[in-house]
Amino acid sequence: MHPMLNIAVRAARNAGKVITRSMEQLDKVEVESKGTNDFVTSVDIAAEQTIIETIRKSYPEHTIIGEESGVLTGSDDNIQWIIDPLDGTTNFVKGIPHFAVSIAIKVKGKLDQAVVFDPIRAELFTASRGKGAQLNGMRIRVNSQKELAGTLLATGFPYKSKQHSNAYMAMFASLFQKTADMRRAGSAALDLAYVAAGRVDGFFEIGLKPWDTAAGELLVIEAGGLVTDLSGGHNHTQSGNIVASNSRLLKEILKDVRPHLGTALS
């Protein structure tokens, strides 16, 4: 295993312990509102702190971008760790056991290593640039489904950007007519990991942040899939609007998404 991936896995497992321990005493977890429909808990902060400490022990010079801490610039800005300590915070707060720790490493702006860890199921998704993607050490691949008929797509609702509700619902309605069914499980990092593992055939969502998707994106690419924005371009990290699937099915998904983009989305 790549030495940086090794540390990322250690950091994710350490954060996982913080999260599962707190889950047993959910009544003691402090929940604060960061903004409309946006929560942060004492656990998000503690888990992020654990990850940062684990990284800093081995790589004090690297830059770290965390959902809760923002940018911690190191002396070597060529290597950036992009971390979401608890993806699926709403699930966690409600006691729904579906969330993950997401850690990605970019080298000179390119995704290089990725970990998505589901501490409840002890499922560790990993990817290294050019070396494929794994679930608990076993190679995973995206599905090869070519048409929407019979597919299961994962998605998330734009709950923090409700101005896009109508456009989103129109995309959803159009896709729903053609697919077998949809899943809205509440963790974008796990949705992408599930695309990589072939558990779902594709994923689309509006208004995500870089730490929600960075690790999942490398998982999907290394599992043989493709990640684009809603127009089929490569602006998804900036826009937060994302589609992931195998390349054939992704084109089919875009056909139902594009007519509803309007001017504000891409």
Contact footprint for Ca ion (CB under 5 A): 84, 87, 212
Identify residues 61-80 at the interface with ligand 2AM (CB under 6 A).
Answer: none
Rounded Cα gap, residues 105 and 80, in angstroms: 6
* 205 or 212: CB nearest Ca ion: 212
159 or 176: CB nearest ligand 2AM: 159
What is the CB-side half-sphere exposure of residue 218 using CA atoms within 13 A?
31
Q: How far is the CB of 173 from ligand 2AM (least distance, A)?
A: 18
Alpha-carbon gap, residue 228 to 245, rounded angstroms: 9
| Smaller CB separation from ligand 2AM, 87 or 201 | 87
Residues across the chain: 266
Residue nearest to ligand 2AM (CB): 156
Q: Is residue 22 involved in binding ligand 2AM (CB under 6 A)?
A: no
Nearer to ligand 2AM, 119 or 156 (CB): 156
Cβ closer to ligand 2AM: 94 or 255?
A: 94
212 binds ligand 2AM, rule: CB under 6 A = yes
Chosen from ligand 2AM, Ca ion, none, partner binding at 208 (C-beta under 5 to 8 Å by type) = ligand 2AM
The CA distance from 208 to 78, in Å, is 24
Pick from 10, 101, 21, 109: nearest CA to 53: 10
- State which of positions 154-193 bind ligand 2AM (CB under 6 A): 156, 158-161, 186-188
177/91 Cα distance (integer angstroms): 28
Q: Is 143 in the site for ligand 2AM (CB under 6 A)?
A: no
Residue corresponding to tokens 């707190």: 22
Distance in angstroms (rounded) separating the CA atoms of residues 140 and 221: 11
CA dihedral 165, 169, 170, 173 (to 10 degrees): 180
Contacts to ligand 2AM by CB under 6 A: 84, 87-90, 156, 158-161, 186-188, 207-209, 212
